Every structure is written in structure tokens, then in C-alpha cells.
Amino acid sequence: MILLDGKMVSEELNLKLKNKVDSFDVKPQLDIILIGNNPASLSYVKGKKKAASLVGITTNLHHLDENISQEEVERLINSLNQDEKVDGILLQLPIPKHLDQEYLMDLIAYEKDPDGFHVVNQGKLFQKRKTIYPATPKGIMTLLDYYNIPIEGKSVVVVGRSNIVGMPISKMLLDRNATVTICHSKTKNIKEITKTADILVVAIGIPKFITKDMVKQDVVLVDVGINRVDEKLVGDADFDEIKDIASYITPVPKGVGPMTIHSLLFNTVLLYESKNTK
Ligand code: NAD
């Protein structure tokens, strides 16, 4: 088994990105909007800020009160959209229920969307046009490519169909000529399907859902899940059980997570460059 070491790969790629950013007179700027004090979000934002600063990207954190009004968040997004210095605007999800998440995500200028979640950027992805790719799927593709894992013609099973992971990674793998099957909460006989996968991508948020009887020998397993169990982080697959069957496997943590952050920074630099070449 070979570990798909997202931590190591992201550190190497972040260093490359730093070398590029070092050559810029004005540094790219990423503004992060964090609403409330969700502990997981606080920790993700901390990780993103730290990685950005290592790469030389300036971050501004707008930490807003849990009870902030929709109008106030809209005002902030509008002002960041207008601000020439801002290259990327990241709305840390989830946001409190009283806010209209879809509306706020649409409000962020799609030219300032380093997460690649904007409906315009996703629309472009689904029409196979040049776009800002969503951070987690892009991180997964970068990781698979780093280890030279063949994709074309492979049987790929994606478990999960979210807008931010399951759907876009399915499309990106399809665009690389994989044969992609998508499973979800209503899929029957899921085990029969996951067992056919040369590459299995799991993004559902259920600890250790994928067990060794659900995968075939030499599977490439990409575990996107991040679940907190007894103060520890575990993935959607049972790593210990599957590691001896898999040919490649991502650990949780230190697998897909750091690759997502790398993609976010990579996308921020792309947005900065495209602003400056307009
Ligand atoms: P989500 O929570 O929006 O949706 C879950 C998906 O799982 C749905 O599409 C649903 O159909 C599917 N699902 C639920 N129960 C299922 C079952 N029993 N069998 C098969 N499918 C089932 O998904 P998300 O936002 O993509 O998040 C999934 C996981 O990935 C979470 O643990 C999240 O924390 C993690 N995540 C990690 C990163 C990262 O950078 N590593 C990024 C995003 C999300």
C-alpha cells in the first residue's frame, strides 16, 4: 500500500506557489468571512490562514457575530466585491440557519471565488469550460496526478453527491475519461457497486462507512470524510481495515484536507493573475 500523503504533497506544492508569489510586488489577498463560532469552522479557518501566510497570500478575517443580519453580510460581500485589492472571498460554511446561504454564495463575484462554489463557476465546470475548479475535487485530482494514478478508462465510484465534492469530482473524473458511477443515500446494494471500483472516492460524512468487504483488492481509496469521534478525526472509510487491501489510500487527517487548502491558495493566485492580466 502506498499512502496518498496529502500533507507532504501540499507542502511541496505550497512551496512552489510561494516561489511564484515571492515574485509579485503586490501580494494576492484572500478575505475570509466566518460567521459564529462553530469549532470545526474556527479550526479550518485557522488552517487556511496559516497556510496562506506561509505562501505569502495576505488574509483578512471578517469574524462576524452569530446573529448578524442578512443585510449586513450582503453589505460586506458587496464591499469586498467592489474592493480592487481583494482577489478572493471565502464564505466559511456552514453559516447560521437564519441566513440565506445560496443567495450569499451567488452574491460573491464569481471572479473572486477561490472555493469554486459559485453557480457560474460550477456551470462552466459542467459545460467543460475553463473555470475555477472547486477546491476539494481539484485537490483530489492533483493528488491522484502527483502519484501518476491512471484515470482514463478506470471504473470510478463516487459515494456522495454534494455540490462541493461528490458532483464536481464525478464530473472532473468523467472529463478525464473515467467511467463514473455515483452512489448516494438512496442507492441500493451499495457494496456491490463500490466493489467494482478501481478508484473509490467517498464523501458522505459517516465515520468508517466503507469497510473492507466493500472494496476490491488494489483499490485506490480517496477518503474525503472528516468526522470527529471521541475527539479524534476519522474518515468515511475504515483506514486500518482497508490499508492492506488498497494499492493507494488517503489517511484522515493529512490526506484530502491539506490538498483542499492547497487548491484554495492555488485558486486565489489564479484569480489574482487573471485580474492582473485583464
Ligand atoms: P454532504 O454532507 O453535503 O452530503 C452527504 C452526501 O452523502 C449526500 O450526497 C448523501 O446522498 C450521501 N450519503 C449520506 N448517507 C449516505 C449513505 N448511507 N450511503 C451513501 N451515501 C450517503 O457532503 P459533503 O459536504 O460532500 O461532505 C461529506 C464529508 O466530507 C463530510 O465528512 C465533510 O466534513 C467532508 N469534507 C471534507 C473536505 C476536505 O477538505 N477533506 C471538504 C469538504 C467536505
- Helix runs in the chain, H state only: 6-22, 39-55, 70-82, 101-107, 119-126, 135-146, 166-174, 190-194, 239-242, 256-276
Residues of the chain with CATH 3.40.50.720: 135-256
**Interval 211-222: pLDDT, tens:** 999 999 999 999
- Of 29, 31, 48, 112, which residue is the catalytic one? 48
From the CB of 136, is ligand 1 less than 6 Å away? yes
- Atom 30 of ligand 1 has which residue's CA nearest to it? 225
pLDDT band of residue 228 (cuts 50, 70, 90) is very high
How crowded is residue 194: how many other Cβ atoms within 10 Å of its Cβ? 25
- Pull the grid cell for residue 64: 462576524
The pLDDT value given to residue 232: 93
pLDDT band of residue 277 (cuts 50, 70, 90) is confident
Q: Which atom of ligand 1 is nearest to the CA of 252?
A: 41
Q: Please tell me the number of Cα atoms within 13 Å of 64 on its side-chain side.
A: 24
The pLDDT value given to residue 27: 97
160 a known binding residue?
yes
Could you tell me whether strands 248-249 and 220-223 are parallel, antiparallel, or unpaired per DSSP bridges? Answer: parallel
From the CB of 91, is ligand 1 less than 6 Å away? no
The pLDDT value given to residue 29: 98
Q: Of 117, 112, 90, whose CA–CA distance to 31 is shortest?
A: 90
Residues of the chain with CATH 3.40.50.10860: 25-111
Mean pLDDT for the stretch of residues 85-93: 98
CATH 2.60.40.1080 fits 25-111, yes or no: no
From the CB of 222, is ligand 1 less than 6 Å away? no
Q: Which residues pair with 38 in a beta bridge?
A: none
- Reply yes or no on whether 115 is catalytic: yes
Q: How far apart are CA 21 and CA 83, in angstroms?
A: 20
The pLDDT value given to residue 276: 86
pLDDT band of residue 57 (cuts 50, 70, 90) is very high
Distances in Å between the Cα of 87 and the Cα atoms of 90, 114, 272 are 10, 9, 5
The pLDDT value given to residue 278: 72
From the CB of 260, is ligand 1 less than 6 Å away? yes
From the CB of 261, is ligand 1 less than 6 Å away? no
From the number of C-beta atoms within 10 Å of its C-beta (0-12, 13-18, 19+), residue 128 rates as: exposed
Q: Which atom of ligand 1 is nearest to the CA of 206?
A: 32
CB of 107 closer than 8 Å to CB of 80: no
- Reply yes or no on whether 92 is catalytic: yes
Q: Which atom of ligand 1 is nearest to the CA of 255?
A: 41
Q: Which of helix, strand or coil describes residue 156?
A: strand
Q: Which of helix, strand or coil describes residue 275?
A: helix
From the CB of 47, is ligand 1 less than 6 Å away? no
Which of 90, 142, 157, 165 maximizes ligand 1 atoms within 8 Å of its Cβ, making it the mutation to test the pocket?
165
pLDDT at 204 over 80: yes
**Interval 146-201: pLDDT, tens:** 999 999 999 999 999 999 999 999 999 999 999 999 999 999 999 999 999 999 99
Percent of the chain with pLDDT over 70: 100
| Predicted-complex ipTM score | 0.98
Look over the chain and give the mean of its residue pLDDT values, rounded to a whole number.
97
- Pull the grid cell for residue 65: 457575530
Angle at 140 between CA 138 and CA 144, to 5 degrees: 120
Fold of 135-256: Rossmann fold (3.40.50)
- Pull the grid cell for residue 163: 455540490
161 a known binding residue?
yes
The pLDDT value given to residue 195: 98
